[in-house]
Amino acid sequence: MAPSIVKFIPVDPTTRPISQEDIENWRIQPKELVGKYFLSTELLRRVFLVDDYSVSQRKGAQYDVLYEDTGLDETLTIKPETLLEMVAEAELVTNALPRH
């Protein structure tokens, strides 16, 4: 597991797999992803938060994503389809800590 700079989830998180229905729902209602925490286990166990969603005239739709191991000062901007691919391979954390 990557070392945390900030703590988004408890030591023993409760998670659930992502369903195809989840993906379709988030594709239709992209703002529903904001505030959700995910546990990725691809190569390295990493926790990420979908922090914001916006639509820019020049760049189009995009999400801001934060990782526990990079902290709150490093925001990754991701296109919707790329983020949906990421969350499809992750687990949704259902008992995340409140963000202040």
- 6: in domain: no
Mean pLDDT, range 30-57, rounded to an integer = 91
Q: Is the pLDDT of residue 4 over 80?
A: no
* Residue 21 falls inside a structural domain: yes
Q: How many domains does the chain have?
A: 1
- Quick one: pLDDT at residue 71? 80
Mean pLDDT of the chain: 90
| Residues spanned by the domain of 31 | 15-93
> Is 8 inside a domain boundary?
no
Q: Is residue 2 very low, low, confident or very high in pLDDT (cuts 50, 70, 90)?
A: low
Q: Is it the case that residue 55 has pLDDT exceeding 90?
A: yes
Any domain includes 100 = no
Please tell me the pTM assigned to this model.
Answer: 0.87
Region of 62 (left: φ > 0; alpha: ψ -120 to 50; beta: rest) is beta
Tell me the CATH number at 31: 2.30.30
48, 66 in Cβ contact below 8 A? yes
Q: Which residue has the higher pLDDT, 96 or 21?
A: 21
pLDDT in the model for residue 22 = 98
In a domain, 7, yes or no: no
Give domain status of residue 64, yes or no: yes
Whether 98 is covered by a domain: the verdict is no
The verdict on residue 99 lying in a domain is no
Which phi and psi (to 5°) does residue 54 adopt? Answer: -150, 160
